[in-house]
Amino acid sequence: MITLPAGSDHRLAPAAILVVDDRPDKILVFRSVLEELGQEVVAASSGEDALKQVLERDFAVILLDVNMPGMDGFETATMIRKRKRSAHTPIIFMTAYSDEMHAAQAYSLGAVDFILTPFAPEVLRAKVRVFVELHQLTEHIRQQSDQRIALAREQAARTAAEDAVRRSAFLAEGGRLLTSTLDAEALARDLTGFSVPFLGLFCAIALVDEHQRVTRTELAWSDPETSTGRRALSVRRIGEPAIASAIERAVTTGRREVIEGPLSDPAGVRVERLEATGEEQIPLAFRPQSMSIHPLVGRGRTLGVLVVALAPPRERFTPTEMALGEELAGRVGIALDNARLYLQVRDNDRRKDEFLAMLAHELRSPLAPIRNAIEVLRMGGSAETRLPWARDVIDRQSRQLMRIVDDLLDVSRITSGKIQLKTEDIDLGTVLASAVETSRPLIEERRHELTVTPPARPLHVRGDFARIAQVLANLLNNAAKYTPPGGSISIIVSEDQRHAVIRVKDTGLGIPAPMLDGIFDLFTQLDTTLDRAQGGLGIGLTLVKRLVEAQGGKVEAASGGPNQGSEFTVRLPVVIPAARAQAPARDGARRVVAQRVMIVEDHPDTAATLQTLISLDGHEVELARDGFAALDLAPKFRPDVALVDIGLPGMDGFEIARRLRQLECGRRCLLVAVTGYGQERDRRLALEAGFDHHLVKPVNVQVLADVIASRQREPETQ
């Protein structure tokens, strides 16, 4: 008799026994014989009925009559064996024929026994009992196996859930650390210490600069001898060749690197000190066995790498550990990018504040002598000496104010992409002469020696004459300002591979290495006493870079460091000059024709000075303080030219222009907008309103005279 394993308290469910016979009386006999076994007896009266029962459930044993009408026992057995679940179900054939052929056929179909009828009840019960108990034991083992599998799955699920909770808690705390500071170095230091030993026994975050060079590395590793169980260190970089190479690859490609095997000397890991004075070895209580390097990426730029190492007996990272490293690296990349953006914003704010302070200084510098000249004139005395002196002071300082405003407007136009260039084929030698002439007063004032080396042959470039001259003058002025008195400045023009190369060198203060990369950034200034003394808004080099690039060139800065001088190199594409048409000879000086000029301006001093200047050229001038007065004056005065301020009370200049154009006297009038707004949008709005010209305050006197003279006065109707 088959028994269950000792100590088993499992109560077996009754097994099912299938009896297949076409005679009900024989089925009744089988039921009575097998009833003693206490199992479930299922009857089938045909082969088809038996197959239906087999499809619906499993049986411990099948008693199958051989001789049945329709589908006999052998055919039924064949079909039962074809079903996978019943292919090994024990079959006992029951027959009244004892020939060997039937027995052989039965056994060939997988029969476990062949019993002749009539049979002894005890024999049948004994044989059936064996298969029932075997089936029950098998079922018991299967159930135990299912229970073990279910238990293992439950334990695995519980472990996975607990691991997920720990990972979530780790990432949550890591996220808190990442948002607790906007200092990239402090962030890296806190996170590496926090990650040991959860991520690995050794963890590092290496930070890189914009050139993908490692500048600082924060390390943390497990050390059971310390109270915290770990140590930390700040170094420049890891010196182990295998690790350093993997870090370089991860930074360059932006992809994860995994290296396996012993990764360092058994005594520890070599690192390079922050001071870059040499290498040292960090003693470790373990030998890193496998390492993963995850790039730290923020908005498409690699900002560093996260390094995690395992130690024996661990040799491989699991997929879950890799995924956790990737998740953490992604969050660190975002945090580092935020820290970088914060530093940029803070630096921009600092530079903006410095710029505003310097702007106030630069504006006061010319305003002070203008104010003093006015006070001198008020004191009276000899006009013969004081008036020319005051006029020269005011003229010189007002020009300086205009240069400041023009530079500011240039920066605004360039940064918004609205700069307009008048490109033509120009001789670089002529541009060079113009720039030198512009900068010569400052160079001579500071007693510098200037050496000019023109090109070996005439070089022509395609660009804006005034803007290229402005670029070279800015570079020469910078060299003059940042070189102590009595220094040397040189400007050399040469040709290199179809490019004109202009080099401006000086023997001045030089540029510290950390500032070279940002020297062309807006509002950047050298933080030196001389720099502050010489003033400047920190926009000159920005203008240089943007103007050069807008004309297809590039500019670079180089310096050996503080007090080693500087060199700025401008490269512009060379072109073959086109044949120039000869300008027609002029008959003589242009004759000024008196015009009737109406000035619409609400600022009394501006209106009065414009009236005086225009009257001195022989023109007839009338004033209107606002738009309504202008519209009332125009039909009576019939102006040839109208100078209209845009920002007027009640009715702005645009509306005045539109209404003047509707009047008969205003259809042929030359309308000139005079305003403090000089953006491209302002010019467009002025033209759309009906203006012919757009002039920006303060208006250049010669430009204004040329605009007025461009209006050819028509004969009056008699």
| Structure confidence by residue, pLDDT tens digits, 424-452 | 888 898 899 888 988 888 899 999 999 99
Least confident of 248-262, 387-401, 496-510, 546-560: 387-401
What CA–CA distance (Å, rounded) separates 321 from 305? 16
Q: What is the pLDDT of residue 39?
A: 93
> Of 663, 656, 671, nearest to 710 (Cα)?
671
The band of 597, judged by pLDDT with boundaries at 50, 70 and 90, is very high
Q: What is the pLDDT of residue 583?
A: 39
337 beta partners:
none
- Contact of 482 with 531, CB cutoff 8 Å: yes
Looking at domain 596-709, its CATH architecture is 3-Layer(aba) Sandwich (3.40)
What CA–CA distance (Å, rounded) separates 496 from 598? 56
The band of 536, judged by pLDDT with boundaries at 50, 70 and 90, is low
Tokens of 494: 């040469």
- Contact of 65 with 43, CB cutoff 8 Å: no
Tokens of 14: 């009754």
Computed over every residue of the chain, the mean pLDDT equals 85
Triad 401, 402, 404: Cα angle to 5°? 65
Task: State the span(s) of the chain assigned CATH 3.30.565.10.
Answer: 423-575
Residue whose pair of structure tokens reads 């057995």 in the numeric block: 77
> Of 44, 134, 37, 50, nearest to 86 (Cα)?
50
What CA–CA distance (Å, rounded) separates 693 from 670? 8
The band of 166, judged by pLDDT with boundaries at 50, 70 and 90, is confident
129 against 422, higher pLDDT: 129
Average pLDDT over residues 340-357: 82
User: CATH says 16-144 is which class?
Assistant: alpha beta
Per-residue pLDDT at 85 exceeds 60 = yes
Q: In what order do the strands lie in the sheet with 214-222?
A: 230-235, 214-222, 202-208, 301-310, 290-298, 257-260
Per-residue pLDDT at 579 exceeds 80 = no
- Contact of 328 with 306, CB cutoff 8 Å: yes
661: left (phi over 0), alpha (psi -120 to 50) or beta: alpha
Q: What is the pLDDT of residue 214?
A: 92
672 beta partners:
643, 693
Least confident of 67-71, 83-87, 286-290, 624-628: 286-290
Residues whose CB is less than 8 angstroms from the CB of residue 107 and which lie 6 or more positions away in sequence, other chains included: 114
**Residue 138 CB neighbour total at 10 angstroms:** 12
406 against 59, higher pLDDT: 59
DSSP result, 162-229: HHHHHHHHHHHHHHHHHHS---HHHHHHHHHHHHTTTT-SEEEEEEE-TTS-EEEEEEEEE-TTSSSS
φ, ψ of residue 89 to 5 degrees: the values are -70, 130
What CA–CA distance (Å, rounded) separates 64 from 288? 69
Locate all alpha helices (DSSP H) within 507-646, ordered by sequence. 513-516, 529-534, 540-550, 604-616, 627-637
Task: State the span(s) of the chain assigned CATH 3.40.50.2300.
Answer: 16-144, 596-709
> Of 524, 544, 533, 519, nearest to 355 (Cα)?
524
The band of 205, judged by pLDDT with boundaries at 50, 70 and 90, is very high
Q: What is the pLDDT of residue 717?
A: 40
- SS3 annotation, 509-549: CCCCHHHHCCCCCCCCCCCCHHHHHHCCCCCHHHHHHHHHH
Residue whose pair of structure tokens reads 């007063």 in the numeric block: 441
What CA–CA distance (Å, rounded) separates 253 from 45? 76
DSSP result, 406-442: HHHHHHHHHHTT-----EEEEEHHHHHHHHHHHHHHH
Task: State the span(s) of the chain assigned CATH 3.30.450.40.
Answer: 175-342
Per-position b or e across 336-375, b if 16+ CB within 10 A of its CB: bbbbbeeeeeeeeeebeebbeebbeebeeebeeebeebee
The band of 353, judged by pLDDT with boundaries at 50, 70 and 90, is confident
Highest mean pLDDT: which of 34-38, 238-242, 249-253, 268-272?
Answer: 249-253
Average pLDDT over residues 622-639: 94
Q: CA–CA distance from 15 to each of 77, 131, 235 (Å)?
A: 20, 10, 74
Q: What is the pLDDT of residue 529?
A: 44
Per-position b or e across 80-117, b if 16+ CB within 10 A of its CB: beeeeebeebbbbbbbeeeeeebbebbeebebbbbbee
The residue type at 626: D
The residue count of the chain comes to 718
Q: In what order do the strands lie in the sheet with 596-600?
A: 620-624, 596-600, 641-645, 670-675, 693-696
Per-residue pLDDT at 114 exceeds 80 = yes
- Three-state DSSP at 502 gives strand
Q: What is the pLDDT of residue 115?
A: 84
Per-residue pLDDT at 307 exceeds 90 = yes
What CA–CA distance (Å, rounded) separates 80 from 86? 6
Q: Which H/E stretch holds residue 104?
A: helix 100-108
User: CATH says 423-575 is which class?
Assistant: alpha beta
- Angle separating helix axes 540-550 and 383-415, nearest 10 degrees: 50
Dihedral angle over CA of 410, 413, 417, 423, nearest 10 = -50
**Residue 282 CB neighbour total at 10 angstroms:** 17
> Strand 449-453 vs strand 423-427: parallel, antiparallel, or unpaired?
unpaired
**DSSP 8-state symbol, 67:** -
Tokens of 626: 């606002």
What CA–CA distance (Å, rounded) separates 424 from 404? 27
Least confident of 57-61, 190-194, 381-385, 552-556: 381-385
The residue type at 176: R
What CA–CA distance (Å, rounded) separates 87 from 506? 99
The residue type at 567: E
The band of 525, judged by pLDDT with boundaries at 50, 70 and 90, is low
> Strand 641-645 vs strand 670-675: parallel, antiparallel, or unpaired?
parallel
What CA–CA distance (Å, rounded) separates 61 from 240? 71
Over residues 447-503, the pLDDT tens digits come to 999 999 988 888 899 899 988 998 999 999 999 999 999 999 999 999 988 899 999
The band of 587, judged by pLDDT with boundaries at 50, 70 and 90, is very low
Q: What is the pLDDT of residue 2?
A: 52
Least confident of 134-143, 304-313, 383-392, 427-436: 383-392
What CA–CA distance (Å, rounded) separates 647 from 654? 9
CATH code of 175-342, in short, is: 3.30.450.40
